[in-house]
Amino acid sequence: MSPGGYLRGTVDLGGPPEVRDKAHSFPRSVFIALLLLGLLQVGCTLGLFLYVKAQVESLQCWSSILMRDASPTMDTFAKPDGNECEGIQLAFKGAVQKALQGLSAQRQFHIGNVTYDPVLSRSNNYQTWPAAHLTLGNSTSGDHGVVHLRSWNHKEGWANIQNMSYNNGTLRVLQDGYYFVYANICFRHHKVLKKITQEPMQLMIYVCKSRSGRQPEYLLKGGSTAVWSKDEVYNFYSVYQGGIFKLLAGEEIFIKATYAALLDPSQEATYFGAFKVLDIHL
């Protein structure tokens, strides 16, 4: 025994050796919990990064879709590569088409007993939309009476035709619909060509429609009774007609005129044509 008290042995100071080891060792369960917590934090951080990156790319895609026709300064912004926006574009187009279909159901209206759908009409393929513009071909000879003009260009110069057909002076309709039909005829005579008559001339144009098994009928006509001066170097008269008509597949349009030998063959002077403006839903 020491003067101040009892001497402390090993047992008194720290307990048994195995107890001291346990007191200073790090619990395994706490280590595992900390490790899992760290991994979870890393996963959350990575997920948040990928989410933000996806949102930024999505915003860039929407910017490209909605503002592709904006000012040239838009090109300075970063744009996604490849087909990253393809999915968004397809989804956007699908949503727009769905909205247009819903809008179409509310905006249909009637012309007589015909239902017209403006949205569906605009959504058709414009490359196959019926249209034709024909210009006068070779100069037509003949007397002063009314003659069927049978020589027209449908491919040369300004002339063109799509989703309609042409044969021997007639323009054939291939689709039912409402069509704007027009014609412009120019009569001209130059003093050096031949001696001009001093009699009054009826310079007339007739836009006609025909169908198999039926008599032709006039859609439009116009003109004037003119007296041309023999003292003038150049005499000229032009007449234009146009209107909207309901035409059926198989019907044909053609032009008749008087004094066919006086027609101006310039492509900007004598022409006729038609183009579809409305669909017919019977």
Which strand (E) or helix (H) includes residue 2? none
Cβ within 8 Å of residue 182, ≥6 positions away = 240, 241, 242, 243, 272, 273, 274
Among 26-40, 52-66, 133-147, the least confident range: 52-66
221 versus 228: the higher-pLDDT residue is 221
Residue 220 pLDDT: 96
pLDDT at 52 over 80: no
8 A C-beta contact, residue 179 and residue 244: yes
Q: How many residues make up the chain in this entry?
A: 282
- pLDDT (mean) for 77-94: 61
pLDDT at 134 over 80: yes
135 versus 200: the higher-pLDDT residue is 135
Range list for CATH 2.60.120.40 in the chain: 122-278
How are beta strands 252-257 and 109-111 bridged, if at all? unpaired
Q: What is the pTM of this model?
A: 0.56
Q: What is the DSSP letter of 73?
A: G
8 A C-beta contact, residue 253 and residue 173: yes
pLDDT at 216 over 80: yes
95-104, 181-190, 240-249, 272-281: range with highest mean pLDDT: 240-249
- pLDDT (mean) for 31-39: 79
Q: 122-278: what fold? A: Jelly Rolls (2.60.120)
**How far is Cα of residue 99 from the mean position of the Cα atoms in its chain?**
17
- pLDDT (mean) for 68-82: 48
8 versus 141: the higher-pLDDT residue is 141
**Which amino acid is located at 87 in the chain?**
G
pLDDT at 182 over 60: yes
Q: What is the DSSP letter of 70?
A: S
- pLDDT (mean) for 120-143: 72
